Structure 1
Amino acid sequence: MISETLEFAKSHNYNKLGLLATKKTIESGLYSERAEKLGISIVNPSEESNKRLSSAIHSFLQNGLKEEQQEAVLSAVSELVDEGVEAVILGCTDLKAILNKRSIDVPLVDSLCVLTDVAVRALSGGE
């Protein structure tokens, strides 16, 4: 999923990407390591912002959608935009549901959608 997401971003000429994901995913360095090989720079939210983001994801899974979860995600996106990212990776499958069609001023690269597209193309014999 990570490689496919980064290849998608590269194909759209994104060279500086924000990453929204759980704390564990960010700390694993998997996105950063693979992105570096493609010449892509990954920008992570601040530690405080990432704590709020991880908390919002866990709260969403336990309690359903709440406004404060959306605000945590939007705040993290805003922080990444201020850092000059060209697009933001949704590196957790729950983030799109949390955003729930909220308007964002930066392109989003949804890792689940990218993986779905790759799977559909593979199953249909496309590239």
Structure 2
Amino acid sequence: MKKIGLIGGISWVSTSDYYTLINKGINEKLGGLNFSECLIYSFNYADIKKNNDANDWDSTFNMLYKASESLKAGGAEAIVLCANTMHLIADKLQNALDIPVIHIAEETAKEILKKEIKKVGLLGTKFTMELDFFKDKLTAKGIETIIPISQEDKDFIHYTIFEELGRGIVTDETKKRYLEIANHLIQNGVEGIILGCTEIPLVIKAEDLSVAIFDTTLIHAKAAVAFQLS
């Protein structure tokens, strides 16, 4: 089994989901008492958010690069960034490392293509929705990506990711609003919804919508398992 390094704490809630999903995935494949051989470097979320709010991605890159080198020194053979937004610097990080960074958007694109879907809705932080780092990976595969038009909707998603879901807080009111936003995208012709923040699966489940959903946390965790067993 190959050893992987998880960079988490962004947030701890989704990092625990990654750890659970990856260990369950290994055990489903190998059975017995076989589980994932992995290392976790968990950040203080406040430090990351401070950089994000200041648009200081260089500082965030330096933090993630040092974490990656630490994990590599511990034997990690690949890096898993346990957050969609952090993939804004994933390509830069990959260029600086000599071990692979398993890219969440690339893995999501593969799953979308398996369902022969060409138009999807994307929900996530404002960074993920408005910048191109995630959408470009889909465009390269011929997939059109639509995000909420309303600034109010984008602000709501961004706020609740950091102030509610990232703290493990889930309310019926927030779930209802997320589903309204997703259904509006469906009415505009999307054939699937990407849960493009690793906390959004806390409020949107497969049975909640009439189209396919792409849980990026689950997709990314499965890709990590596949790498470990490759």
TM-score above 0.5: yes
Report the counterpart of residue 159 of structure 2 in structure 1: 55
Q: How does 1:95-106 map to 2 (within 5 A)?
A: 95-99=200-204, 103-106=208-211
RMSD: 1.7
Unaligned 5+ residue runs, structure 1? none
Residue 70 of structure 1 aligns with which residue? 175
The residue aligned with 2:188 is: 83
Q: Report whether the alignment pairs 1:7 with 2:94.
A: no
Give CA deviations for 1:91-114 in whole Å, capped at 9, x if unaligned. Answer: 001000123676222110011111
Distance 1:26 1:101, change over 3 A: closer
Alpha-carbon shift at residue 55 of structure 1 (Å): 2.1
The one-letter code matched in structure 1 to 2:218 is: C
Indicate the percent of aligned positions where both proteins have the same amino acid.
24
Partner of 2:137: 34
Shift of 1:68: 1.9
SS of the equivalent of 2:208 reads: coil
Long gaps (5+) in structure 2? 1-103
The answer to whether the 8 Å contact 1:50/1:76 transfers is: no
The answer to which of 91-100 and 36-45 deviates more is 91-100
1:8-49 residue CA offsets vs partner (Å, 9 max, x unmatched)? 111221100000111111122122222111111000012222
Q: Distance in 1 between matches of 2:158 and 2:205?
A: 17
Q: If the length of structure 1 is used for normalisation, what is the TM-score?
A: 0.88
Q: How many residues align?
A: 125
How big is each residue's C-alpha offset from its partner over 1:59-99, in whole Å with a ceiling of 9 and x where there is no partner? 32347111221122111111110111110000001000123
Corresponding residue number in structure 1 for 2:228 = 123
Q: Distance in 1 between matches of 2:160 and 2:182?
A: 14
Name the structure, 1 or 2, with higher relative contact order (CA <8 Å, separation 6+). Answer: 1
2: distance between equivalents of 1:86 and 1:100? 16
